[in-house]
């Protein structure tokens, strides 16, 4: 939605350009929503305060911790500029801070924009700096970053530049992440931005959910995002082959909605049947076919059940084992005993089970099992 105070005029902006780049349908969904607030949290407000201080170059009003971050950001900025001045062989002048640059399409319509925290121009060369105020561990490196790419192209178009250096100033870490665009890079970057904008304009542009959805303000209204987060592998970021430990499964179970829990429970038998059938199909494949899939049959494990318990019993007794000791290793299987009683006494299965329960009551230890889930 466009608001009077929105300097982006409802168009994609560099700071969130990764969203239309990864999900072409995102701008259309956002535009269709009324009053979508930007996601806010405490860190964001803190980041805004720090950015305002960097814009003024004055930490007044910041607390001690934030003043330290401010100073660190200024220090990195000075270093990045000094290094660039050595490369250019001259002192460079800073342009207006927090300036927004606009991208118009071939028909002259506004299509996107980007705001540079700081930028410097020297001849056909440009330097752009973007402060990252707090922890930004998941920040995509500058070389692959869509914010850096769009800003580099916007500034190159604005000033007719042939080279742009873009730097993320990571104040918390005290480091800069830098990427250089030469003329060829800028041309390719421009095409890629055009491609993103063109794809986003197409009717029915596809929405592609992923980890980036957590930065999308349309996430709460997006069915694709809802479906994606309910996938166990995405909720826990587990690769299919990596497996889920019982602990991870417990976390997952607490993350999904109760309705989804019910849905998953209803499908347990179906999934088990499908999994068994798939395993059987894979195991029946000839070895070369299995190898094509990156699989092989392992060494067969060997079962060694004692099929002559009477013989084992008397042998162990002869060796000096006490009878009570040997009985600890012997058990009578209810199912097999039921079959024996059915055959011997000519009873139905139910009657045989009843008979065993009554006649062998003194030999049975009852234990109450977990109550099974049932549909009402």
Q: Kindly list the residues in this chain that would bind ligand SF4 in the complex (CB under 6 A).
A: 19, 23, 25-26, 29, 207-209, 212-213, 216, 218-219, 222, 224-225
**Helix, strand, or coil (residue 130):** strand
Minimum CB distance to ligand SF4 smaller for 81 or for 205 = 205
Per DSSP, 205 falls in state P
For residue 131, give the nearest of 164, 102, 174 by alpha carbon: 174
Least distance to ligand SF4, CB of residue 215, Å: 8
CB of 23 to ligand SF4, least distance (A): 3
Residue with tokens 């996107």: 112
Q: Classify 230 as helix, strand or coil.
A: coil
CB of 147 to ligand SF4, least distance (A): 15
Burial (CB < 10 A; 0-12, 13-18, 19+), residue 17, is buried
Tokens of 48: 């805004």
Angle at 366 between CA 364 and CA 367, to 5 degrees: 145
Nearer to ligand SF4, 12 or 47 (CB): 12
Count of Cβ atoms closer than 10 Å to residue 312 Cβ: 14
Cβ proximity to ligand SF4: between 32 and 266 the closer is 32
Nearer to ligand SF4 among residue 67 and residue 140 (C-beta): 140
SS3 content of the chain, % helix, strand, coil (to 5): 50, 10, 35
CB closer to ligand SF4, 39 vs 174: 39
Structure-block tokens of residue 297: 């049959």
Residue (88 or 208) nearer to ligand SF4, CB: 208
Shortest distance, CB of residue 18 to ligand SF4, whole angstroms? 9
CB 175 within 8 A of CB 138: no
Of 169 and 205, which CB lies nearer to ligand SF4 in the complex structure?
Answer: 205
Token pair belonging to 181: 């665009």
Q: Is 124 helix (H, G, I), strand (E, B) or coil?
A: coil
Shortest approach of ligand SF4 to residue 173 CB, angstroms?
A: 27
Cα 108 to chain center, whole Å?
37
Shortest Å, Cβ 228 to ligand SF4: 7
Token pair for 140: 């995509």
CA-CA distance, 79 to 71, in Å (whole number)? 12
Tell me the closest approach of the beta carbon of residue 304 to ligand SF4, in angstroms. Answer: 54
Contact 22, 208 (CB under 8 A): yes
**Closer residue to ligand SF4 (CB): 79 or 230:** 230
Q: At closest approach, how far in Å is the CB of 17 from ligand SF4?
A: 12
């Amino acid at each position: 939605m466009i608001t009077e105070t929105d300097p982006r005029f409802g168009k994609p902006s560099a700071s969130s350009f990764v969203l239309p780049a990864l999900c072409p349908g995102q701008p259309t969904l956002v535009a269709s929503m009324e009053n979508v607030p930007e996601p806010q949290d405490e860190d964001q407000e803190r980041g805004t305060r720090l950015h305002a201080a960097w814009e003024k170059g004055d930490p007044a009003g910041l607390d001690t911790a934030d003043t330290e971050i401010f100073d660190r950001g200024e220090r990195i900025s000075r270093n990045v500029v000094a290094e660039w001045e050595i490369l250019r062989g001259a002192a460079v002048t800073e342009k207006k801070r927090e300036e927004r640059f606009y991208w118009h399409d071939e028909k002259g319509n506004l299509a996107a924009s980007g705001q540079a925290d700081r930028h410097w121009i020297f001849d056909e060369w440009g330097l752009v700096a973007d402060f990252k105020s707090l922890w930004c561990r998941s920040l995509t490196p500058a070389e692959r970053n869509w914010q850096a790419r769009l800003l580099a192209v916007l500034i190159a178009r604005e000033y007719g530049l042939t080279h742009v250096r873009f730097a993320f100033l990571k104040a918390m870490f005290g480091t800069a992440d830098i990427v250089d665009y030469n003329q060829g890079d800028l041309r390719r970057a421009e095409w890629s931005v055009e491609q993103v904008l063109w794809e986003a304009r197409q009717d029915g542009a596809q929405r592609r959910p992923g980890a980036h959805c957590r930065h999308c303000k349309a996430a709460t209204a997006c069915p694709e995002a809802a479906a994606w987060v309910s996938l166990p592998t995405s909720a826990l970021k587990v690769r299919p082959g990596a497996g889920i430990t019982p602990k991870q499964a417990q976390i997952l179970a607490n993350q999904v909605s109760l309705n989804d829990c019910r849905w998953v429970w209803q499908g347990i038998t179906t999934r088990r049947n499908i999994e068994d059938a798939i395993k059987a199909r894979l195991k029946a494949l000839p070895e070369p076919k299995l190898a094509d899939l990156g699989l092989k049959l392992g060494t067969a494990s060997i079962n060694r059940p004692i099929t002559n318990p009477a013989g084992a019993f008397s042998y162990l007794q002869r060796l000096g084992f006490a009878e009570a000791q040997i009985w600890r290793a012997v058990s009578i299987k209810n199912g097999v005993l039921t079959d024996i009683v059915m055959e011997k006494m000519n009873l139905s299965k139910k009657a045989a089970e009843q008979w065993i329960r009554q006649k062998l009551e003194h030999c049975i230890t009852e234990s109450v099992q977990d109550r099974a889930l049932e549909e009402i």
